[in-house]
Amino acid sequence: MSINSLDHVNIRTSRLDESIAFYRDILGLTVGTIPGFQDTSRGAWIEAGNGRAVIHLNAAMPGPDFLGEDRNWSEIKGSGRVHHVAFDCTDFEAMHQRLTDAGIPLKLNTVEAINLRQIFIQDPNDVLLELNFHGD
């Protein structure tokens, strides 16, 4: 048995429409519906270029979820104990320009030892995102 890679990250949000727009319009990812649902009123699966859902957005709704957890999700912001979510990306210059044009606050970092440039931004839920550009 082995773990091969991270499959997806789930974000419960009271800012669903804004979150969908951010991942679609700012990061250029594709928005899909949750399997079994016809629209995005309860959430969305955000897909990378390979068609795989990498972010699951779920509307923060009152009452217990499918695992029986009953929290006030609309009051929870940020990444909790998870510091950030990282994406492997291409075309640093285009992404940097896109974020700058959209007025998204960002921080840059370079790890010269492994030829890596990074852009750090926050989504509408204050989840810290790390955009990694290897050799780009």
pLDDT, one tens digit per residue, over 10-20 is: 898 889 999 99
State if pTM tops 0.85.
Answer: no
Structural domains of the chain ordered from first start: 9-134 (3.10.180.10)
On the 0-12 / 13-18 / 19+ scale of CB atoms within 10 A, 116 is middle
CB contact at 8 A, 29 and 55: yes
Q: What is d(CA 133, CA 118) in angstroms, rounded to the nearest whole number? A: 6
Percent of the chain beyond pLDDT 70? 93
pLDDT, one tens digit per residue, over 113-134 is: 999 999 999 999 999 999 999 9
pLDDT, one tens digit per residue, over 46-71 is: 999 888 999 999 888 777 776 677 77
Question: Sign of dihedral through CA atoms 84, 88, 92, 96?
Answer: negative
Percent of the chain beyond pLDDT 90? 61
